[in-house]
């Protein structure tokens, strides 16, 4: 594969109010657009051989801003969407605990093998859907640089897959809004050069 720049979208109103967002197509907040502009400055001078983004507005808006100086098309990928939380979308955890106590218990205990979101995906379906994205990267050489703009959950799935980690470790990666992580892929494995950098914000 290649050198991967992994970016989480800028902040949204749902992020600020700590609501489950998932497939809800929420755009960036004013602060989120400012974060993306600062990230654009951080990436000034970088040339990307390909840019992939989730097809949800908050990721696409981030991708458009940070690649404004690059003459490269953004490839929209539904595989890179956040988890589909179904009926939980738009709710805070306290509200989920009141309406769906068993689901709230499952989230807190993080039994990802049995976790299912009513009206949405199971965690295992989410993993299988997201990991398919990596097939797109097999055609690139190690000398090429690929930008991937996605979401908290999806990026953590990709990192676990690339590092060949069990998904029990999924929650141990912190991926903040508008953060940058850089992974170098080789035939013999993957090296983390940068993880969850937000020093430019």
pLDDT exceeds 90 at position 69:
no
Q: Rounded distance, CA 155 to CA 33, Å?
A: 20
Active-site hit among 9, 19, 129, 156: 9
User: Which pLDDT band holds residue 80 (cuts at 50, 70, 90)?
Assistant: very high
The rounded Cα 67 to chain-centroid distance in angstroms is: 17
Asked if 9 is an active-site residue, the reply is: yes
Domain boundaries, the chain: 3-197
pLDDT exceeds 80 at position 187:
no
Q: What share of the chain is helix, strand, coil (3-state, %, to 5)?
A: 40, 20, 40
Active-site hit among 3, 19, 81, 151: 151
- pLDDT value, residue 196: 98
Mean pLDDT (the chain, rounded): 95
- pLDDT value, residue 96: 95
Asked if 186 is an active-site residue, the reply is: no
Helix (H) or strand (E) holding 37: helix 30-42
Average pLDDT in the 70-80 region?
95
User: Are the C-beta atoms of residues 80 and 150 closer than 8 Å to each other?
Assistant: yes
User: Which pLDDT band holds residue 148 (cuts at 50, 70, 90)?
Assistant: very high
Domain 3-197 carries which CATH code? 3.40.50.1240
């Amino acid at each position: 594969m290649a050198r991967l720049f992994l970016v989480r979208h800028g902040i949204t109103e749902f992020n600020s109010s700590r609501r489950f967002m998932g497939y809800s197509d929420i755009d960036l907040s004013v602060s989120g657009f400012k974060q993306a502009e600062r990230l654009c400055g951080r990436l000034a001078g970088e040339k990307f051989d390909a840019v992939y983004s989730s097809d949800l507005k908050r990721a696409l808006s981030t991708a458009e801003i940070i690649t404004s100086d690059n003459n490269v098309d953004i490839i929209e990928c539904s595989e890179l969407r956040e988890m589909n939380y179904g009926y939980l979308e738009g709710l805070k955890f306290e509200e989920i605990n009141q309406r769906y106590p068993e689901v709230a218990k499952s989230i807190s205990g993080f039994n990802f093998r049995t976790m299912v979101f009513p009206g949405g995906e199971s965690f295992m379906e989410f993993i299988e859907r997201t990991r398919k994205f990596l097939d797109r990267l097999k055609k690139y050489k190690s000398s090429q640089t690929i930008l991937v703009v996605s979401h908290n959950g999806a990026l953590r799935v990709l990192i676990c897959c690339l590092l060949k980690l069990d998904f029990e470790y999924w929650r141990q990666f912190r991926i903040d809004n508008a953060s940058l992580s850089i992974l170098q892929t080789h035939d013999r494995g993957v090296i983390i050069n940068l993880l969850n950098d937000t020093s430019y914000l």
